[in-house]
Chains A and B, each alone.
Chain A
Amino acid sequence: MQTTVMTEQEARAPAGSVTQPAARVGWSSPRGWLQQQLPRLVLSPTVVITLVFVYGFILWTLYLSFTRSRGIPSHELVGWLNYQRVWNHPRWSVALHNLAVFGILYIALCLVLGLFIAILLDQRIRQEGALRAIYLYPMALSFIVTGTAWKWMLNPGLGLEKLFKDWGFANFKFDWIIDERMAIYTVVIAGVWQASGFVMAMFLAGLRGVDQDLIKAASIDGASLPRIYRRIIIPQLRPVFLSAVVILAHLAIKSYELVVALTGGGPGYATEMPSTFMYAHTFTRSQLGWGAASATMMLLTVAAIMVPYLYSEVRTVRSRRQ
């Protein structure tokens, strides 16, 4: 018994102690010093890359967002002018409105659909593996492929509308993709189709981790299955909900490809998103300053969601280990 405890303690010793043999090699010889520094040297390219190309570039873009940069970067500082211009731009308001509509529906529908399918799949289903594979394959596709496929399906003349008309629903109308007011909902449809399987996978993993004894006890007490789900199982999935919302929210803010391939931001600029606004003003409209300002605002929004989440995730992992 005693020995088991010993090994366990050893196993829990911080891995940092592993570096101790370096002392055995000795600091005196240059080779020993090199050996000692090797881990840091090996990690350093990644650290440098991250500092330059992530954080350095973030600062660079931040700086540009305060300059009068148009076609090429300029060093003339203009304060908050670019931000004011972007905020007063009608296309930016449309972009923000679309992001809200898209974000809320995308997250809500993915959660509802993902959880529902996960619960269905958790009922001792034959061929579960095959079904899971079907729900999740869209995640392996490029957004451009998804956009292309759905653009075709949503084509009013030849796609779903035509299909339902051929099936006898003569008045069936489904022309959202060319309707300025409805086009953003087609982006929601394609986005949910692509990501809901992933959310299903997260929920299914969560369901499989729920304490079985609790469920048994509840069913012995005569609780019905829906009640067990509502009262016992789903509340235990709270961490999965949190993860899913965070991941989906950051995907929603970043979403660019899907809009480009599905609607091209149109009709007009009805499906403009912050990402398409940024791209258009940076690469085609020669307003680097505006592009930088909009990119900065996107980053801040993502950071507001991701930083607390990552911080808590890394912390819980550490405390669980200790």
Chain B
Amino acid sequence: MAKTWETPQMVQETGFRWSRVVVYGLLVFFGAVYLLPLLVMLLTSFKPLPEIYAGNMVALPRHWTVEPWVNAWTKACVGLNCNGIKGYFWNSIQMTVPAVVISTGMGLLNGYVLTKWRFRGANVLFGLILFGCFIPFQIVLIPMATFLGRMGIASSTTGLVFVHVVYGLCFTTLYARNYYMAFPDELVKAAMIDGARFFSIFRRVLLPNSGPIIIVAVIWQFTNIWNDFLFGASFSTGTSAPMTVALNNVVMTSTGEREYNVHMAAAMIAALPTLMVYVFGGRYFVRGLMAGSVKG
């Protein structure tokens, strides 16, 4: 299993007092640097426009206002369509939820087969599937555009769900496989002797013990699909676009004075779902990240 940072520290404190101050000082400084963009986004999104042009970016708003958020949600212009980003936010939800559910479910079953019902060539198949996680998606854009067009699901949420399932499967399969690898074969054998078959073993023996890996896979898929831009930009048009594409359009749309506060509010709205997931499930998000990089 991948080592995690949760294991206790081992390096003993040996330096003297003021070296601790330096360490903490540096850590807090880096923390501030990492937090700065988020802080600036938040502050800017609560400021009226004149204050933005007059003051600096870390100044607290003198008049707090939620108007930029309201405008971003209901009035911001995405290209020529000035109805705010709410529709696109909804698009993203409609795209993300089914794609996450389907790819996670399939990935769990794949992992189950690849570890508990291994057959000749299973490792080669896994290797082939695994490589799919790392291809630059530019290589599939042109064929996929043609394919979605022929299937009649170009520029639709269905098309994007399909694309995200297809290219998310390798990750969910990887997670489930690595997780079930450590699951005792004896329990599977025992269930088999009791007469349980393929699906009932999965449902009664593995699934009840799959909580952590389901959370890891769901969080990973949710974050990746919600944050995707390349597929969204390539395979959607106009009002069917997901949130990230809409955000980019809001920022790029320049009619008159640039409403930076609205841009930042829109960016925050786009970031909030994944930030919330990170705040509440950060531990599992990290596990997903690590499993995607350091296997074993």
* Chain A residues with CB below 8 A from B135, complex form: 54, 58, 299, 302-303
* Chain A residues with CB below 8 A from B80, complex form: none
Query: For the complex, is A102 an interface residue (Cβ under 8 Å from B)?
Result: no
Tell me if B118 and A193 are in contact (CB < 8 A): no
Q: What secondary structure prevails in chain A residues at the interface with B? A: helix
* Chain B residues with CB below 8 A from A240, complex form: 294
How many A residues touch the partner, as a band?
35 or more
Query: For the complex, is B218 an interface residue (Cβ under 8 Å from A)?
Result: no
Q: In the docked arrangement, what's the CA distance between A206 and B9, Å?
A: 11
Query: For the complex, is A104 an interface residue (Cβ under 8 Å from B)?
Result: no
Query: For the complex, is A5 an interface residue (Cβ under 8 Å from B)?
Result: no
The distance from the CB of B137 to the nearest CB of chain A, in whole angstroms, is 7
Query: For the complex, is B290 an interface residue (Cβ under 8 Å from A)?
Result: yes
The distance from the CB of A302 to the nearest CB of chain B, in whole angstroms, is 5
Selecting from B60-68, B82-90, B206-214, B224-232, the interface stretch reads B224-232
* Chain A residues with CB below 8 A from B11, complex form: 122-124, 207, 215, 225, 233
Query: For the complex, is A132 an interface residue (Cβ under 8 Å from B)?
Result: yes
Contacting A at CB under 8 A, from B273-296, are: 274-275, 277-279, 282, 285-286, 289-290, 293-296
Query: For the complex, is B257 an interface residue (Cβ under 8 Å from A)?
Result: no
Q: In the docked arrangement, what's the CA distance between A19 and B44, Å?
A: 61
Q: In the docked arrangement, what's the CA distance between A129 and B282, Å?
A: 10
Q: In the docked arrangement, what's the CA distance between A56 and B244, Å?
A: 28
Contacting A at CB under 8 A, from B119-165, are: 119-120, 123, 125-132, 134-144, 146
Query: For the complex, is A201 an interface residue (Cβ under 8 Å from B)?
Result: yes
* Chain B residues with CB below 8 A from A207, complex form: 10-11
Q: In the docked arrangement, what's the CA distance between A137 and B30, Å?
A: 13
Contacting B at CB under 8 A, from A177-214, are: 193, 197-198, 201-202, 204-210, 212
Q: In the docked arrangement, what's the CA distance between A311 and B294, Å?
A: 13
Query: For the complex, is A75 an interface residue (Cβ under 8 Å from B)?
Result: no
Q: In the docked arrangement, what's the CA distance between A16 and B189, Å?
A: 11
Of A47, A57, A133, A264, which is within 8 A of B140 by CB?
A57
Q: In the docked arrangement, what's the CA distance between A21 and B33, Å?
A: 59
Of B12, B141, B247, B274, which is within 8 A of A140 by CB?
B274
Tell me if B134 and A143 are in contact (CB < 8 A): no
Tell me if A225 and B15 are in contact (CB < 8 A): yes
Contacting A at CB under 8 A, from B21-80, are: 23-24, 26-27, 30-31, 33-38, 40-41, 44, 52-53, 56-58
* Chain B residues with CB below 8 A from A51, complex form: 128
Tell me if A61 and B143 are in contact (CB < 8 A): yes
Q: Give the residue among B36, B251, B293 with the most A Cβ atoms within 10 A.
A: B293
* Chain A residues with CB below 8 A from B141, complex form: 278-279, 282, 291, 295
Q: In the docked arrangement, what's the CA distance between A215 and B10, Å?
A: 9
Tell me if A124 and B13 are in contact (CB < 8 A): yes
Besides A15-B118, A299-B139, 5 other A-B contacts (C-beta < 8 A): A19-B119, A38-B198, A43-B110, A54-B132, A137-B34
By a beta-carbon cutoff of 8 Å, the part of chain A in contact with chain B is 10-11, 13-16, 18-19, 21, 35, 38-40, 42-43, 45-47, 49-51, 53-58, 60-61, 64, 73, 117, 120-125, 131-146, 148-153, 158-160, 162-163, 166, 193, 197-198, 201-202, 204-210, 212, 215, 219, 225, 233, 239-240, 243-244, 247, 250, 253-254, 256-257, 260-261, 264, 275, 278-279, 282-283, 288, 291-292, 294-296, 298-299, 302-303, 306-307, 310-311, 313-314, 316-318, 320-321
By a beta-carbon cutoff of 8 Å, the part of chain B in contact with chain A is 2-5, 7-15, 20, 23-24, 26-27, 30-31, 33-38, 40-41, 44, 52-53, 56-58, 106, 109-110, 112-120, 123, 125-132, 134-144, 146, 166-167, 169-170, 173, 181, 184-186, 188-189, 192-193, 197-199, 223, 226-230, 233-234, 244, 247-248, 251-252, 260, 263-264, 267, 270-271, 274-275, 277-279, 282, 285-286, 289-290, 293-296
